[in-house]
Homo-oligomer: A and B are copies of this chain.
Amino acid sequence: MIPHKTIDRLCSYRRILFRWHLRGKERFHSYELAQEAGITAAQVRRDLMSLKNIGTPRNGYATASIITELGAILEGAEDQKAVLVGAGKLGKAILSYFAGRRPNIRIVAAFDSDPTKVGSVLAACPCLPLTDLDETVRRHGALVAILTVPGSAAQEIATALVGAGIRAIINFSPAKLKVPEGIYIDDIDFSIALEKAVYFGRTLKDGTGIAPSSGPATPISEGSMHGALTKRILCIDDDLDVIESYRAILEQTGYEVAVALDGESGLEEARSHKPDLIILDVMMKDATEGFHIAYALRADAALREVPILMLTAISSEWNMKFDKDQDGAYLPVDAFVDKPVAPDTLLATVKRLLGLPREQINIMGSPQS
């Protein structure tokens, strides 16, 4: 049985490693992961002892196999299901935060006592009356519940959840839940978080040598809308069906469309007939090919300022989604669109990118660290 805090860190490791994997980093050392996670290398090595797979003294750890093992430990074999109770502002915010983010961990239903909310669909998740709670939880075999109800209702609902088979509760209410031995409770209490922050903000000793670069934050500018037609668009994707569907949509709208079924020929095609826009699949034959092509395109002086629209999808290997916010920041591309993509979305994004002034093309990526 792995201790609580170790699990915490294993989750962080997995996220970091997934990002590294996307960026093509195939091996890593304990000190690298330690630095990224903000802890010591000894801690990392000790934590990784929880898993079977070993590193080797000279070569360190293999990113991919560690991610696989972490996935096995943290998520197990089957899909995991969760429910949410309390579809207020916070509940809705959490639903939309998770929507589609972790396909392996799915919030199958939301519950609320308010009859005006029941029946609606929030972030792809049906809102049901509390009377359905027991039956729904049992039917799905959900083990996890997210509790976003007022403190006064929390205990009653927690008891019902446990009775229905829930084994872990993330409790956002201020109530201290009483549950049987063996049920996991994670209290996330905003009031206490704020009070703690106030305390430490006041108290922590005036940092020896605080000299952070000041300067106001510059908001990320949204490209302004222009319009232009009869442009040439190059689609690079290894799935022929996908290519053909995009071609149909784009040609119908009056664009000229070129296609390539792999990165190599895509690059070649781009060099011989410079397109006005490139649509690039992020996950081709290996998980990072799309990224390499993006870098190669930016390295070519002639193609540097061609906007790139990157198509993102779920990695079937670990059921983790490419995180535009987190991972996209490093990539020299101008827009991300999720697959499968709705024709409207595709056209709107294409139109926007074609209108982008050249100085707003993202040539370097904007690494955050």
Is A203 on the interface with B (CB-CB < 8 A)?
A: yes
Query: Are A197 and B169 in touch, CB under 8 angstroms?
Result: yes
Query: Are A196 and B201 in touch, CB under 8 angstroms?
Result: no
Query: Are A194 and B134 in touch, CB under 8 angstroms?
Result: no
A159→B167 CA distance, assembly (Å) = 40
Interchain CB contact (< 8 A) of A215 among B144, B152, B163, B213? B163
Query: Are A207 and B195 in touch, CB under 8 angstroms?
Result: no
For chain A, residues 133 to 187, give those with C-beta under 8 angstroms from any C-beta of chain B.
Answer: 133-134, 143-144, 146, 150-157, 159-160, 162-164, 166-170, 173-176, 178-184, 186
Q: In whole Å, how far is A157's beta carbon from the nearest beta carbon of chain B?
A: 5
Is A37 on the interface with B (CB-CB < 8 A)?
A: yes
Q: A197-B170, A198-B74, A204-B182 are in contact. Are A8 and B192 (CB under 8 A)?
A: yes
Is A32 on the interface with B (CB-CB < 8 A)?
A: no
Q: Interface stretch among A90-98, A301-309, A337-345?
A: A90-98
Is A228 on the interface with B (CB-CB < 8 A)?
A: no
Which residues from chain B contact A74 at a C-beta distance below 8 Å? 195, 198-199
This chain's copy number in the assembly: 2
A160→B213 CA distance, assembly (Å) = 8
A48→B239 CA distance, assembly (Å) = 65
Which residues from chain B contact A368 at a C-beta distance below 8 Å? 151-152, 154-156, 175
Interchain CB contact (< 8 A) of A134 among B196, B211, B216? B216
| Most chain B C-beta atoms within 10 Å of own C-beta, residue among A150, A157, A328 | A150
Query: Are A201 and B181 in touch, CB under 8 angstroms?
Result: no
Is A348 on the interface with B (CB-CB < 8 A)?
A: no
Which residues from chain B contact A192 at a C-beta distance below 8 Å? 8, 11-12, 15
Nearest chain-B residue to A78 (Cβ)? B202
Nearest chain-B residue to A198 (Cβ)? B80
